[in-house]
Amino acid sequence: MMTLPRIRFSWAHPRRQKTFSRGAVAAVAALSFLSIAGTTLTVRPAVAQGSSSAVQTPMAVLWKYNGLGYSNNPAAPIYADGTIYYASGKILYAVDARQGALKWRFPADSASTLSEAVIAAPVIAGDTLYVGALDGLYAFDAAAGTKKWYINIPGGVTNSPVVVGKTVFAAGQNNRLYAANTATGDFIPGVWSMKGKEGVDMGGDVIAGMTAADGYLYYVTGNQVLHKVDLSSGVQRYANRVEGDIRAALPAVTGETFYLITGSTLSKYRTNGVRLWPLRLPNDAVAPPATDAAGNVYVVTADRYVYAINPSGGSLWRKSVRVDEEVLTAPVVVDNLLIVATALGGVNAFDTATGALKWSYILTPSGTNASYLPTVTNVAATPLVADGSLYILSDDGSLTAFRHDAPDSQPPTITQMVPEPGDALNGRPPFHISARVGDVGSGIDISSLHVKLDGKDLPRRIQGVDAGDKEGFSWDPNDGSVEYYTQESGAGRGSSLVDGHHSVSISVKDWMGNLATKTWSFVIDDTVPRRAMKRANSANGGSKSGTKGGSRGPGGAGATPGGPGGGE
């Protein structure tokens, strides 16, 4: 078995969610990866069907639609004919892809919802939207948003449906695969009924979802078995044992081969089930991999590192890259970009060839409930790319559209300066200087952030890297806080600011090149009694607690519609 060079790290396993483990949520989110090559339909919700997928960086916000939130929502949005379709808990939305205006909502009554939640991406075929929910399978008129039919499936449907020709397939939580007529919802008789029961036995519970390609269905069951099923006959072609954690084991098919991640082992297989090679990663994967047209594969592990592997099993990048927060869903490859979304609203675009960061953004949470405004939001749904736009669904219920040509002429904001301008303070260490920077248009380009104290540039500490006693300022991308502390020496006054006037200067650009600068001064007087210093990340009473690591996010099952800001 090949092994990548091991990276030293320290990582604590995140808390378990109330219903799904973090790994299971990431796996369910990855169910949006469905492709049926060589049939009458191609469905790959992560990259829009029937559209140009190319995107350019940097990007800025084009529009934002606010719906009802659903904590750690794993159901990825999809695109068809100028419309984005997405589910947030028990509500379905159809939104105009260019303007962000609501086309329809189901149920149409704003006080009503579906009986059960949707936790997998819907699928569209022709004029019909197919949606698997925790009470069964639905079919809707894609243009009008009216229900065509519904069939109850025991245990509900937690995987995206698969449509081939005039048949829609759905995996029930009773471990059976159902085939129904796309027009009527009637179950298909014959090979799709066994021993008087509808559906065929899948061999176990499907944990990480299903991938359809070339008329076959690939999936891994909870008993660690890899299956390949012929969708024309229901016949199982093989059932092979695999080893390791299978929560992210969604086969990623590319041509005549596919990749499968089980725990920390990435394996490449031929579609006939023969394994070509295994590769051991330094840590377990948190989501299924993404692949590009050249057969390269991209994997995110629990320590937040992103690895790029070539078809032979070697490293594609000179070194791996690391994202700031935990990853809750599968990454997406679009042309030469790898899109990685994270908890706490992070969106990152990396160059697939080098791993260089091309653009990043932190989503600002919003809400439709005037009595509850979330402070943070998570992205647990696979990003969508369509017609040159990137669409991110966050668990506050918001769908945000980004484009390279979206207008952004406003510079970043620099606020909440500490010390306050003109203030007089004791300068003994540790002396605290801080501010908050933000940009809602294209996001902060961290490489442009500079802080000066009395005209001297301060070095920047890299987030998550222990800098020891080295001097420098830190920047938290989640709340935009910039902080600097003078260092305390053994004598207690080694880095004291001398009495007199001092100045702080901060300059920063957004990704579109708009520049913001702020300079302010204060007075050091050691005869002034020391007092507690304000902190930038608490200046407005905000808190980051309660959502990091895939715990309950702002959507909340009890959230209700209404209030400002969105379509609800």
Helix, strand, or coil (residue 493): coil
Per-residue pLDDT at 180 exceeds 90: yes
Mean pLDDT across the stretch 233-260?
95
Least trusted range by pLDDT, from 6-20, 344-358, 496-510, 542-556: 6-20
> Closest Cα to residue 218, out of 249, 247, 172, 255?
249
In which order are the strands placed within the sheet that holds 225-230?
Answer: 206-213, 216-221, 225-230, 236-241
* Number of DSSP helices (H) and strands (E) in the chain, helices first: 1, 44
Instruction: Give me the phi and psi of 67, to 5 degrees please.
Output: -110, -165
Mind listing the pLDDT tens digit for each residue in 335-393? 899 999 999 999 999 999 999 999 999 999 987 776 677 888 999 999 999 999 999 99
Mean pLDDT across the stretch 89-105?
97
Q: Which amino acid is at 252?
A: A
Dihedral (CA of 115, 119, 123, 124) sign: positive
Q: What is the 3-class SS of 288-349, one letter each residue?
A: CCEECCCCCEEEEECCCEEEEECCCCCECCCCCEECCCCCCCCCEEECCEEEEECHHHEEEE
Is residue 469 very low, low, confident or very high in pLDDT (cuts 50, 70, 90)?
low
Per-residue pLDDT at 269 exceeds 70: yes
In the prediction, which pLDDT does 191 show?
Answer: 82
Highest mean pLDDT among 45-54, 366-375, 500-509: 500-509
Mean pLDDT across the stretch 15-38?
33
Task: Say what percent of the chain tops pLDDT 90.
Answer: 72
Q: Which amino acid is at 402?
A: F
Where do we find the tokens 């990548």? Answer: 4
Mind listing the pLDDT tens digit for each residue in 407-425? 999 999 999 999 999 999 9
In the prediction, which pLDDT does 9 show?
Answer: 25
Mind listing the pLDDT tens digit for each residue in 486-499? 876 544 444 678 99
Per-residue pLDDT at 215 exceeds 80: yes
Beta bridge partners of 278: 267
Is residue 53 very low, low, confident or very high in pLDDT (cuts 50, 70, 90)?
low
In the prediction, which pLDDT does 27 show?
Answer: 35
- CATH number for region 413-538: 2.60.40.1220
Across the chain, what does the average pLDDT equal?
84
Helix, strand, or coil (residue 202): coil
Per-residue pLDDT at 133 exceeds 90: yes
Task: Tell me the C-alpha distance between 246 and 228, whole Å.
Answer: 16
Mind listing the pLDDT tens digit for each residue in 276-294? 999 999 999 999 999 999 9
Q: Are the beta carbons of 24 and 209 closer than 8 angstroms?
A: no
In the prediction, which pLDDT does 192 show?
Answer: 85
**16-403: CATH class:** mainly beta
In the prediction, which pLDDT does 193 show?
Answer: 79
Per-residue pLDDT at 78 exceeds 80: yes
Task: Tell me the C-alpha distance between 504 and 519, whole Å.
Answer: 6
Is residue 190 very low, low, confident or very high in pLDDT (cuts 50, 70, 90)?
confident
Per-residue pLDDT at 251 exceeds 50: yes
Beta bridge partners of 192: none
Q: Which amino acid is at 308?
A: A
Domain ranges in the chain are: 16-403, 413-538
In the prediction, which pLDDT does 233 show?
Answer: 87
Is residue 110 very low, low, confident or very high in pLDDT (cuts 50, 70, 90)?
confident
Mind listing the pLDDT tens digit for each residue in 534-546? 555 443 333 343 3
